[in-house]
Amino acid sequence: MKKHAAMVAIVALFTMPVLAAQPGGFVDPNAPQNQQPARKGGFKGPQNVVTVKEAKELKDDSWITVRGNIVKRLSDDNYLFQDPTGTLSVEIEEEDWKGQNVAPGDKVELQGELDKAFNDAQLDVKQVRKIQG
């Protein structure tokens, strides 16, 4: 009798998580299927989107996002970024372009770390993303 009770307890212990993990609910065959795989990893929180004018007033090493246009190449990895409030020097390494081609007329979103020295500010870009509008 004790063996039987122990066996039932062991079976219940291993089958309960399997039963709990099964999704339930109505599945509409006419509903559009999500074609994109789920993204994995990382924190997705509010972005600190600022203007160039605001960026120049922030402290060194601030992580920021700016939106505007890259209007000119200054040197190998250095470019001039512009938004309605002004211009900012940005450094974009080759791997950070991720194969994207960007022209001066393309609106972009740049994320990176602000490097400040005296009265000069530069954005060390870690992500470049073309955006609409």
Instruction: List CB contacts of 15: < 8 A, sequence separation 6 or more.
Output: none
- Residue 14's pLDDT band (boundaries 50, 70, 90)? low
- Residue 113 domain boundaries: 52-130
Distance CA 103, CA 89 (A): 16
Strand spans (E) along the chain: 63-73, 78-83, 86-91, 107-117, 120-130
Residue 5 three-state SS: helix
pLDDT, tens digit (0-9, with 9 covering 90-100), for 19-30: 544 444 344 456
Q: What was the pLDDT predicted at 110?
A: 96
The domain total for the chain is 1
pLDDT, tens digit (0-9, with 9 covering 90-100), for 66-99: 999 999 999 999 999 999 999 999 999 999 999 8
Cβ count within 10 A of residue 67: 19
Position 46 in a domain: no
What's the CATH number where 124 sits? Answer: 2.40.50.200
Position 117 in a domain: yes
